[in-house]
């Protein structure tokens, strides 16, 4: 979504006219109009300020499928079903040992 569409959507959702948003934010109405018409690209701070006056904010979200190391997935997919089953059983045993150690540590912490 472009900055223009984001601002327009937020402003309309808040039930504000460009003039009302300008009054609230201290940003000239002409500037808001240029941003919404995609004739101006606002800096991050300005866009955030305008959105906050509309009761919204900018947030950062991870994009699905980006920034993920798929190395382990490829290695697992390269295994045969039998090899995967053997690995799953080994990991289950490791998890059981870990859980037992965690319980032991909790019990030891409770004792004076």
pLDDT digits (tens, 9 = 90+) for 79-94: 999 999 999 999 999 9
Note whether 84 and 92 are within 8 A (CB): no
CA gap 72, 66 in Å, rounded: 15
State residue 111's pLDDT score: 78
Which pTM does this prediction carry? 0.57
pLDDT in tens, 27-53: 999 999 999 999 999 999 999 999 999
CA gap 69, 65 in Å, rounded: 9
Range 65-90 average pLDDT = 88
* Count of beta carbons in the 10 Å neighbourhood of residue 76: 12
- List the chain domain ranges: 3-53, 78-110
| Least confident span in 7-16, 31-40, 61-70 | 61-70
Fold for the domain defined by 3-53: 434 Repressor (Amino-terminal Domain) (1.10.260)
């Amino acid at each position: 979504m472009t900055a223009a569409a984001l601002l327009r959507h937020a402003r309309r959702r808040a039930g504000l006219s460009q003039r009302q948003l300008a009054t609230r934010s201290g940003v000239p109405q002409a500037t808001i109009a240029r941003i919404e018409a995609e004739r101006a690209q606002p800096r991050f701070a300005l866009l955030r300020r305008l959105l906050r006056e509309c009761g919204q904010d900018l947030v950062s979200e991870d994009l699905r499928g980006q920034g993920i190391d798929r190395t382990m997935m490829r290695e697992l997919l390269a295994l045969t079903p039998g090899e995967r089953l053997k690995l799953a059983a080994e990991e289950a045993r490791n998890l059981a040992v870990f859980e037992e150690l965690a319980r032991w540590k909790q019990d030891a912490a409770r004792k004076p």
